[in-house]
Chains A and B, each alone.
Chain A
Amino acid sequence: MWQWFHRWGSPKWFYDLSGRWLPWLTGALILFLVVGVVWALLFVPQDYQQSYTTRILVVHVAVASTSLAFFPIMAVAGTITLVWKMKMADMVAKTVAPLGAWFSALTLASGSIWGSVMWGTWWEWSDSRLTSMLFQFFLLISVISLRSALNDSETAAKACAVLSIVGCVNVVIIKYSVEWWNTLHQPASALSMNSGSANGPAFWVPTLVMVIAMYLLMAVHVMMATRNEILRRESRSQWVQDLVLAAK
């Protein structure tokens, strides 16, 4: 177990393994994306009240639910950085943060565009679901700027790790905001296996396909970006130099 854990700490090990996995993950990503988008645009039924804005729902829900995974991932990576000083964990934490900011931004934008026609407003400061999601976006921007502001990479890694662990509290707030307080945003839907009732498979199966696509996107992006980070940080090491010369 510990041996396996420590092997992940080796940049070369990660680089080789991710190189082998990337083609498969990219293929799966494209498959799930195409199926998800075609299904969402063509086959998802309209809602009796909200018409074909159900197409926005598929993207919005998939992106929003995936966006909640970023702080927990960064917190786990941060804890590994603080306790074991593993450089790999910090590299992953570094590449995850900007993607999380993109996910949060798209959640806010798609929700706003949907709300503008259904609720009659683009934005409500008094809605705790909306403001806590905006707060997550700002927190991610803070993590990114904190890292670029601190010159010493070890200090930056520690500071970002602490901020990531603290940021997890906000994820819980986002999740339960619609239950703890009254909001304009509706609570989470109770899914149904029965196609003759509300929230049936016709809505949630394509959404689930899109959620899987979003996690695959996360895996592919993080692997590609982390490989770049490895090449940069390890550019003086013999194996990277061999690799560069071999690619020439």
Chain B
Amino acid sequence: MFERIPFSSFGEFLNMGGYAFNVWTVYLLFVIFLLVNLLGPRRRRKQLMKELERRAVLAERQQPDSSD
């Protein structure tokens, strides 16, 4: 498997045949794209749950159960 890697050194890998800037910029943008679209909804869910909990507590205080 490893003998099929076309690079003979780590420096060669980073250099990408002289197109290092272009290749690595695309992969940087790709990682940003993944992080935004995967962690974004997760963060929003946490905010939303917190907000809904706050509202639920508020509602409980305003309308105390008759048993209390």
Q: Are A43 and B53 in contact (CB under 8 A)?
A: no
Separation in Å of the B44 CB from the closest CB of chain A? 5
A59 on the interface (CB 8 Å rule)? yes
Q: Are B22 and A117 in contact (CB under 8 A)?
A: yes
Interface centre among B7, B23, B27 (most CB of A within 10 A): B23
**Chain B residues near A46 (CB, 8 Å)?**
6, 17
Q: Are B53 and A247 in contact (CB under 8 A)?
A: yes
Q: Are B48 and A231 in contact (CB under 8 A)?
A: yes
Q: Are B38 and A110 in contact (CB under 8 A)?
A: no
Q: Are A217 and B17 in contact (CB under 8 A)?
A: no
Q: Are A225 and B22 in contact (CB under 8 A)?
A: no
Q: Are B19 and A43 in contact (CB under 8 A)?
A: no
A245 on the interface (CB 8 Å rule)? yes
**Chain B residues near A99 (CB, 8 Å)?**
37
B23 interface neighbour in A52, A228, A232, Cβ under 8 Å: A52
Look across to chain B and name the residue whose beta carbon is closest to the beta carbon of A221.
B37
Given A114-B22, A224-B41, A244:B49 Cβ within 8 A: yes
| Whole-angstrom CA separation of A33 from B30 in the bound complex | 11
Q: Are B19 and A53 in contact (CB under 8 A)?
A: yes
| Whole-angstrom CA separation of A41 from B14 in the bound complex | 10
Mask, B10-21, CB within 8 Å of A = 1, is 000100111100
A148 on the interface (CB 8 Å rule)? no
Q: Are A241 and B26 in contact (CB under 8 A)?
A: no
Q: Are B22 and A116 in contact (CB under 8 A)?
A: yes
Q: Are B22 and A113 in contact (CB under 8 A)?
A: yes
A220 on the interface (CB 8 Å rule)? yes
A-B contact pairs, 10 of them (CB 8 A): A42-B13, A46-B17, A51-B17, A53-B19, A53-B22, A60-B26, A106-B29, A109-B26, A109-B29, A227-B45
- A-B residue pairs, 8 tightest by C-beta: A51-B17, A224-B41, A52-B17, A52-B16, A244-B52, A225-B41, A110-B26, A56-B26
Taking A53-B16, A99-B37, A245-B56 as known contacts, 18 extra A-B pairs with beta carbons closer than 8 A to each other, sorted by chain A number, are: A43-B6, A46-B17, A51-B18, A52-B19, A53-B23, A55-B26, A110-B29, A113-B22, A117-B22, A217-B34, A221-B38, A224-B41, A224-B42, A231-B48, A232-B48, A241-B56, A244-B56, A248-B56
